Amino acid sequence: MDITVLLPAGRLPLDLMAKAHDMAEKYGLGIYLSTVQNLRLLDVPEERVNEVKKELAAVGADFKGPGKFPLPRVCIGKTYCKLGVIDTEEFSNRIMARFKGRTKTKPKFKIAVSGCVLCCSGVKTTDIGINASKIGFDLYVGGKGGPHPRVGRRILHGVDEDTVLNAVEKIVEFHHTMSTQKQRMRKLIDHPEFPYPDEV
Ligand code: SF4
């Protein structure tokens, strides 16, 4: 079995890294840093899953599970990149502070955040993508990869943080109301009641 540990903003605390190392060494596990910036422990023996999770939880690990609001995938941001105009870790934390109380979020949408218009975290090919720029935030919706990749629709341009987060809330609510099963945003953006029909 695999265990996925959620890493907000892709950050791996040292004590968690040390504990994952201990568990991997003890049980011969593989370690994989996933494309959505989480930490996966691979090939955990079935009978050790609870024990490994308990050890990791003791140093603050939170685990992937149904209904959880998706952690944003972020670029490194202005603290470490001279082109960045926002601290992406801080922004990701603000998104999670606002939405983590949603315990019944339906799958299957992802969020990406970039610190500038270069969009290194894949903002334009993610269900909900936010990039900062010198004039404010842009919001894209409906981007996807896969065998039929699509660029998202830019629905806000150069707006402030509150405006962008209010729009994210509206889109997530729409997804919740309109989805009976897992659903990419792409399938919803041409619905006649989708609140942002126009590209800006
Ligand atoms: S998107 Fe911009 S800020 Fe983020 S890593 Fe790329 S160049 Fe730097």
Give per-residue pLDDT as tens, 112-165: 999 999 999 999 999 999 999 999 999 999 999 999 999 999 999 999 999 999
Please write the tens of the pLDDT for every residue from 24-55. 999 999 999 999 999 999 999 999 999 999 99
Q: Cα of 47 to ligand 1 centre, how many Å?
A: 42
Q: How far is the CA of 94 from the centre of ligand 1 (A)?
A: 19
Nearest-atom index, ligand 1, CA of 81 = 8
Residue nearest to atom 6 of ligand 1 (CA): 120
Give me the CATH topology for the region 73-187: Sulfite Reductase Hemoprotein; domain 1 (3.30.413)
Intervals of CATH 3.30.413.10 along the chain: 73-187
Q: Which residues approach ligand 1 with their CB closer than 6 A?
A: 75-77, 81, 83-84, 114-116, 118-120
Q: Which residues pair with 4 in a beta bridge?
A: 40
Token look-up 């041409």 returns 190
pTM of the model: 0.95
Ligand 1 center to 74 CA (angstroms): 9
What spacing in Å lies between the alpha carbon of 10 and ligand 1's midpoint?
15
